[in-house]
Structure 1
Amino acid sequence: MNKVILSVALSAISFFSFAQPSAQFSTDKFENFTLHTYASFDPMADVSFIVETDKKLVVIEPQVFTNNIEEFVQYTQQLGKPIEKVLVSFHALGLKVYENEDKVIPRPMEAFMQSEAAKGMIEFFGKKYNNSIDTEVVKFDEVVEATTMFNVDGVSYRLEPTSMPGMPGVNIAIDDKVYYQHFSPSKEFHASYHMIKKKASIDGALMDLAKAKQAGYTLLLGSHGFGKATAADLDFQITYFKKMKQLVADSADAEIFVKNMNTEYPDLQGQEDLTIIAKNLYQ
């Protein structure tokens, strides 16, 4: 596995290096659906979602660790409704259990899963976790464009290409009420270094956040950590990235950049992320 693949793989296993809470489910009720969020707090801090309507379920972003797959599937079964679709954006493993369900993936992500980079990461994860994760790449029932729209039991799903450079997944608008992105905003943490790989990443993040702000979303979802964010988190992160962009231009090197960011945001958690972001921006 080359250095680039190894770097990506190693970064993916360190989202939450501090003490992690136990896995937890939470629900948010809307007029036409109930959103169930499963924050696994596994080594990759993966988050999965279930959209429940009167008659059907849609799963978004599956789990990958076998014990979390079991817990998530059991919860889903207790809802007593059939799964209409399993929708993948960025997490395309952990799908073997959905043998009879309609599995959907955007075309850019499907292409990525066939790449040598993806194969290298999957091999790495399998060895790292002693085969405690489902690394099988399944055949998808639907490979859709990154601008696809569909409706399940009265709830609409609109896929949108992410503005983040090099990211093959999609953003997802759920019934124009909830907005999914790979990374949900937070007013308590620095941005993830998996998110900000270069200066263009800041612009991409701002573009996606601006779309969510303009649309008026008050609940934002992400595939890692706690998985949910509010409008206050969104507003904070827009200001945060604008300040980051300014400080990158004003700071002579990575060390000065980190110092200036800490002066602006002394109480944010995630110092390791900030340090690696600085290295990414000044390499």
Structure 2
Amino acid sequence: MKKLGSIALVLCATLTASAQGKFEVKEFVSFKLHSYITADPLGDMSYIIEGNKSVVVLEPAAFHDNIKELSEYLGKLNKPVEKVIANYHAAGFSAFDHSKFVMVEGMPQFVKGDVYSGMMANFATTFGNKMDISQFTPSVTVGKDAKENWAGVEFKFSPGASSDFPAASILIGGKVYYTHFTPVANVHMSALQISSLEAVDAQLAGLEHAKASGANTFIGGHGGATASAEAVNFQIEYLKKVKETRLQIRTGDEFVLVMQMTYPDIASEENLTAVATNLYKK
């Protein structure tokens, strides 16, 4: 994306939010996962990990309407916010006590660099005062292989896909695995995920790591609330086919045709043209 990434209980509830987003709640033995589908222009996701006495926010909302909505929802949980992990999405700093914010090593420097700063400047031009684009250096920075216990839940960090921001994948409570993009089955992956042939290898490595984590629920900053292991398996096989096709086929147009023939019934076929442009750029 540098081009501007115990046994779960079956209880799962969906709550419609008052403004534009939606919350989905999935309950595990020792914590609850609240997924906030913001419906904002960037397709961002935010999460609340609710322990017995406090909560952790993962990826704070960026748009002021969503900030208000998320804050109101947190108020109803009636538990203090212990930490706010600004992982891939370094935004929404106006909503929380700055001492609560956490970033992974490398990200505080990255958000001040040309790539991220340029992206945020573009957002400022596009969205104006609808979006919180304030920058803040967190008081807590964790290592890329850190293990922390917040709200009574273990957060195990590992480096995210090497083609993406210097952020982290996170195994939460041993059961929920967070990556930049929620794995989605039966959909052509986007050009943001497949930005180059090298990115294919990086995404594959990240998905293999997710598969081996022991998690049974997979979430991300974009792409939907939760996914199962089947979605991870689909994307692994899909990326293997992308790589195989790219190495065998000489042109982007032919690549698109082969992928259409291989996957004739899956969604977002329009993604293939942009992916081909990335894979065959000179």
TM-score (norm. length: structure 2): 0.90
Match of 1:18 in 2: none
- Of all paired residues, the percent bearing the same amino acid is 33
Give the secondary-structure state (helix, strand or coil) at the position aligned to 2:162: coil
Q: 1:86 to 1:217 in 2, by over 3 A?
A: same
1:191 aligned to 177, 189, 192, which one? 189
Aligned partner letter, 2:86: V
Give the secondary-structure state (helix, strand or coil) at the position aligned to 2:57: strand
Match of 2:113 in 1: 115
1:237 aligned to 210, 235, 238, which one? 235
CA distances 1:227-275 after superposition (whole Å, capped 9, x unpaired): 3211111111111111111111111110000100011111222233221
Cα displacement (A) at 1:170:
0.8
Give the secondary-structure state (helix, strand or coil) at the position aligned to 1:58: strand
**Stretches of structure 2 lacking an aligned partner (at least 5 in a row):** 5-19
Match of 1:161 in 2: 159
Q: 1:50 to 1:101 in 2, by over 3 A?
A: farther
Q: How many residues matched?
A: 266
Give the secondary-structure state (helix, strand or coil) at the position aligned to 1:196: coil
**Stretches of structure 1 lacking an aligned partner (at least 5 in a row):** 9-21
Give RMSD over aligned pairs: 1.6
Aligned partner letter, 1:129: F
Whole-angstrom distance in 2 between the partners of 1:162 and 1:100: 24
Whole-angstrom distance in 1 between the partners of 2:98 and 2:90: 16
- 2:84 maps to 1:81: no
Moved more, 126-135 or 99-108: 99-108
Q: Is the 8 A contact 2:184 2:223 kept in 1?
A: no
Whole-angstrom distance in 2 between the partners of 1:185 and 1:223: 10
- Superposition pairs for residues 37-116 of structure 1, below 5 Å? 37-99=35-97, 101-116=99-114
Q: Is the 8 A contact 1:96 1:138 kept in 2?
A: no
Match of 1:134 in 2: 132
TM-score (norm. length: structure 1): 0.90
Match of 1:13 in 2: none
Aligned partner letter, 2:229: A
CA distances 1:118-173 after superposition (whole Å, capped 9, x unpaired): 22221211110122100000231212221111102331001110133242211011
Cα displacement (A) at 1:186:
0.9
Match of 1:26 in 2: 24
Moved more, 120-129 or 56-65: 120-129
Whole-angstrom distance in 2 between the partners of 1:217 and 1:99: 31
Q: Is the 8 A contact 2:53 2:151 kept in 1?
A: yes
Give the secondary-structure state (helix, strand or coil) at the position aligned to 2:210: helix
